[in-house]
């Protein structure tokens, strides 16, 4: 186990399609987080930025860009890139430097202004890049992979299109109560069924959009926190694991899984190993959780996360949903923020946004989305190329 760090402040710029620069969104989120923490920008000793994403690869360098926009004040700086997992890497970079005594208080920011439509690879002729090749050779977009997982679940576990639609119904209901969400309207199962098929069996409303948005948190040592507040939300674990060989689940941008011909597959696949590492570091288990924020790139993928987080047994994700356990008011509400279904993905901000939601929930300030008496929560996501990401927060 590692020591805790405190979350002193959380802030966002609302998600949407605003047509402005990521810097503007990031500064707005940063100022909101600083105000929430009751600190000035000049109090910050370390700024960590999650780089923007362009074609699956790092876009704009974030840390120094935000530091300049907020006004150079000499703070240490770190910029990180881990695709969808960038936000958790940024949180962990700040945490590690705080725990190492290099800084007492840090500002972590992720923001992006996303292009419309499918994520496309970086340009040029790059036949040595698997992310370029999957588009050239297969035309395999991100929804292609989501469709493959969804069909596999239907064949293996008996999940239905209605189950997938009900994930959207649940998350849109939560998102309707979240002022930072892009889509703030309840969606019915009929509306999901009436939307166009993108990658069979998934429809437009099963798949998350791309959005503009920003999220920021102020993290500090527990000693610093005690001088500024009482009973802060604490980050108890950050999991940033890579897969174990052979990786036997087809993930984007893969053409194939690893072969298990010579080496037996590990006991846990990547997603389950992300969660296991987080639980181990936090010293808590799934039964101790009050809520979870998971990366619902598609409705079907949310059900997969239930199983990988061990909220239920393998194959029983749809049953957990049908029982209402993961809805607000259920045993273990999932995506109380509304999830990607309500936000759309602003890649470098998204994992930080998940931590913001845990923070507000654990403080009891989540309004109509509040999970009564929440004391522990987990976030989970996975970044392109093999980046695990999970944060456990407690109060």
Partner 1 sequence: MARARKPVVAGWFTEAGPHTDDGPAAQGTGADQDFRLIGTRCQDCGSVFFPREDTFCRNPACSGTTLEETPLSRRGRVWSYTDGRYRPPAPYVSDPAREWEPYVLVAVELAAERMVVLGQAAPGTALADLAVGMEVELVPGVLNEDDETTWTTWHWQPLGGDR
Binding partner 1 by CB under 8 A: which of 133, 186, 268, 284?
133
Query: Considering the rule CB under 8 A, would residue 260 count as an interface residue with partner 1?
Result: yes
Q: Which is nearer to partner 1, 118 or 185 (CB)?
A: 118
Binding partner 1 by CB under 8 A: which of 2, 223, 259, 367?
259
Are 334 and 372 contacting, i.e. CB atoms less than 8 angstroms apart? no
Look at the chain and count its residues: 395
Binding partner 1 by CB under 8 A: which of 191, 258, 288, 316?
258
The full DSSP string for 294-316 is E--SBHHHHHHHHHHTTSS-TT-
* Both tokens assigned to 104: 């007492």
Binding partner 1 by CB under 8 A: which of 17, 31, 76, 152?
152
Site string for partner 1, 196-235 (x = CB under 8 A): xxxxxxx---------------------------------
**8-state DSSP, 25:** H
Give CA–CA dist 283/1, Å, rounded: 7
| Candidate segments 42-50, 85-93, 127-135, 299-307, binder of partner 1 by CB under 8 A | 127-135
Q: Give the shortest CB-56-to-partner 1 separation in angstroms.
A: 12
* Both tokens assigned to 262: 């010579």
Buried b (16+ CB within 10 A) or exposed e, 226-256: eebeeebbbbbbbbbbebbeebbbebbbbee
Query: Considering the rule CB under 8 A, would residue 139 count as an interface residue with partner 1?
Result: yes
Query: Considering the rule CB under 8 A, would residue 255 count as an interface residue with partner 1?
Result: yes
**8-state DSSP, 101:** T
Q: Which is nearer to partner 1, 156 or 313 (CB)?
A: 156
- Rounded to a whole number, what is the distance in angstroms from the first to the last CA of the chain? 17
Evaluate the omega torsion of the peptide bond into residue 201 and state whether it is cis, within 30 degrees of 0: yes
- CA-atom Rg of the chain in angstroms: 20
Pairing assessment for the beta strands 105-112 and 46-50 based on DSSP bridges? parallel
Instruction: Using alpha carbons, select from 328, 331, 329 the residue that is nearest to residue 339.
Output: 328
Q: Give the shortest CB-374-to-partner 1 separation in angstroms.
A: 36
Binding partner 1 by CB under 8 A: which of 149, 183, 224, 306?
149
Q: Which is nearer to partner 1, 135 or 224 (CB)?
A: 135
Which residues contact partner 1 by CB under 8 A?
A: 117-118, 120-121, 123, 125, 127, 130, 132-133, 135-141, 144, 147-152, 155-156, 196-202, 245-246, 248, 250, 254-263
């Amino acid at each position: 186990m590692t020591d805790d760090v405190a979350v002193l402040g959380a802030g966002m710029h609302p998600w949407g399609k605003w047509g402005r620069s990521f810097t503007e969104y990031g500064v707005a989120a940063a100022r909101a987080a600083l105000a929430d923490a009751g600190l000035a920008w000049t109090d910050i000793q370390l700024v960590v930025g999650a780089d923007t994403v362009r074609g699956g690869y790092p876009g704009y360098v974030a840390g120094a860009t935000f530091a300049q926009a907020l006004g150079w004040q000499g703070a240490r700086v770190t910029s990180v890139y881990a695709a969808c997992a960038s936000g958790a890497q940024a949180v962990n970079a700040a945490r590690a430097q705080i725990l190492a005594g290099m800084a007492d208080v840090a500002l972590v920011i992720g923001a992006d202004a996303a292009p419309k439509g499918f994520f496309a690879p970086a340009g040029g002729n790059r036949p040595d890049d698997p992310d370029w090749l999957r588009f050239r050779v297969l035309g395999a977009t991100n929804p292609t992979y989501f469709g493959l997982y969804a069909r596999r679940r239907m064949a293996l576990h008996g999940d239905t299109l209605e189950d997938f639609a009900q994930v959207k119904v649940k998350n849109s209901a939560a998102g309707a109560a979240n002022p930072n969400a892009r889509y703030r309207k309840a969606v019915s199962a009929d509306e999901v069924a009436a939307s166009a098929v993108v990658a069979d069996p998934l429809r437009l409303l099963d798949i998350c959009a791309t959005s503009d948005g920003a999220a920021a948190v102020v993290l500090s040592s527990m000693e610093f926190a005690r001088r500024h507040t009482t009973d802060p939300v604490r980050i108890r674990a950050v999991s940033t694991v890579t897969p174990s060989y052979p990786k036997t689940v087809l993930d984007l941008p893969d053409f194939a899984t690893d072969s298990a011909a010579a080496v037996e597959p590990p006991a846990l696949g990547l997603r389950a190993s992300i969660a296991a590492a987080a639980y181990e570091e936090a010293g808590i288990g799934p039964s101790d959780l009050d809520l979870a924020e998971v990366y619902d790139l598609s409705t079907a993928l949310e059900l997969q996360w239930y199983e990988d987080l061990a909220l239920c047994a393998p194959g029983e994700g749809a049953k957990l949903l049908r029982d209402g356990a993961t809805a607000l008011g259920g045993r273990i509400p999932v995506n109380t923020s509304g999830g990607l279904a309500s936000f759309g993905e602003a890649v470098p901000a998204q994992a930080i946004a998940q931590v913001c939601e845990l923070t507000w929930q654990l403080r009891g300030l989540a309004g109509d989305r509040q999970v009564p008496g929440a004391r522990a929560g987990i976030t989970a996501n996975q970044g392109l190329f093999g980046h695990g990401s999970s944060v456990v927060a407690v109060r």
